[in-house]
Amino acid sequence: KAGVTQTPRYLIKTRGQQVTLSCSPISGHRSVSWYQQTPGQGLQFLFEYFSETQRNKGNFPGRFSGRQFSNSRSEMNVSTLELGDSALYLCASSLAGLSYNEQFFGPGTRLTVL
């Protein structure tokens, strides 16, 4: 069974621009969560989608948004990029997002903001 895929793998943007990242979950998985990983803050939860609905949101500004499509693929958007947005963005796929469902991570998108 194919794993979680994320595109693109690497991105370089400048301050003020916006970016869209894509995630395709494991086949049959309906929950997609997004995380940001930085050396200073570690892994932090952004938001979670299930059946095209955002069910949970972390403590990030409104510049960070996302959506999920009917095929469970998800996109994350960051507008008005700041230098501090440079990070590894990870999506995690889960069967139904229940507390006992494992979350499997994709390879991540490395975003560099100049």
Partner 1 sequence: QKEVEQNSGPLSVPEGAIASLNCTYSDRGSQSFFWYRQYSGKSPELIMFIYSNGDKEDGRFTAQLNKASQYVSLLIRDSQPSDSATYLCAVNGGAGSARQLTFGSGTQLTVLP
Q: Does 90 bind partner 1 (CB under 8 A)?
A: yes
CB 37, min distance to partner 1, A: 9
Q: Does 66 bind partner 1 (CB under 8 A)?
A: no
Q: How many CA atoms lie within 13 A of 48 on its CB side?
A: 18
Instruction: Pull the structure tokens for residue 87.
Output: 């990070």
Contact call for residues 106 and 22 (beta carbons, < 8 A): no
- What are the φ and ψ backbone dihedral angles of 112, each rounded to 5 degrees? -115, 125
Q: Does 23 bind partner 1 (CB under 8 A)?
A: no
- What are the φ and ψ backbone dihedral angles of 33, each rounded to 5 degrees? -115, 150
Q: Which of 5, 58, 60, 65 binds partner 1 (CB under 8 A)?
A: 58
Count the residues of the shown chain that bind partner 1, applying the rule CB under 8 A: 27
Binding site for partner 1 (CB under 8 A): 31, 33, 35, 42-45, 48, 50, 55-56, 58, 88, 90, 92, 94, 97-100, 102-108
